[in-house]
Structure 1
Amino acid sequence: MYSRSFNIKKDLAMRNEFAKKALDANPSHPQTNYDYGLALCNEKKFDEALIYINKAIDMDPANKDRFEGFLPLLFMAMRDTENSLKWLLKMSERDSHSRYLGWLSCVYAHIDDLDKASDYLKRFLDERPEIKTLSDYRKVAPAIAKNL
């Protein structure tokens, strides 16, 4: 967890170094594996990150929902639309937060299902009236999705 403090400081090299040290010290701890997976995303090592996130899920199935919540973003970063959509739908079933409506709208537009994209966009905008423009959305979009 200490390594995450370096995200706030924008010192990704230290973030990754301490995440690796924590993993080396305690490789059988689910949170350590998850945290190292997140750190690997800073280096765009998404395939390797998925391995460590899945290890965390396997080690702690009772808390898998916590770890799985990152999977839609990870698959977006991996440009794996099919799995991103699968996990977005699963997450939106668990939690009806408006963020999933926005993401689903984007993914459906990406795969040219414009009817579903329009439906999710309308629902998203109904729940988020403060978002009127793409610029407004960029202010609330996850950083990992900004380069896609």
Structure 2
Amino acid sequence: MNHTDHDQANLVTKVRESIRRIDGNLVKRMQGDEGMIGYIKNLEETNALIPGEANCLNFSCWCNFGLYDIDFGWGKPIWVANYVSTDSCNSPKLNDVMFLDTRDGKGLEVYATLEEQYAAALDKIEELRSLISINPSPPELKHL
């Protein structure tokens, strides 16, 4: 087994171990009035497992949450977008990737705040670039 095969096998093992940690207790902690406290506790436990020298990419998916069906009294949104979160130093939080549905439900919007090394690596993937399109701006969406 060469070094690359070993790294890939090790990655698969780590992913499987991580998925096994998603159980009823993990989910239950995030429910009810204390749900946010449980969510933070889950994050703290997960972060404690990550070695300090690790390069991390954080992914979250908000697809199929029905965000375009929510009406707070002034109508349904014409565009749902992510914001750039910040860390305690008020600098952009890097290496976050968030997936959201498009308004028509037929596509996917990806919001990524990445360190330059990751952005440069993604830019080199020709197959990925062929899937990217620029959506109209929010004012243009109200006419769709």
Normalised by the length of structure 2, the TM-score is 0.31
**The structure with more strand, counted as a fraction of residues:** 2
Rg bigger for which structure? 2
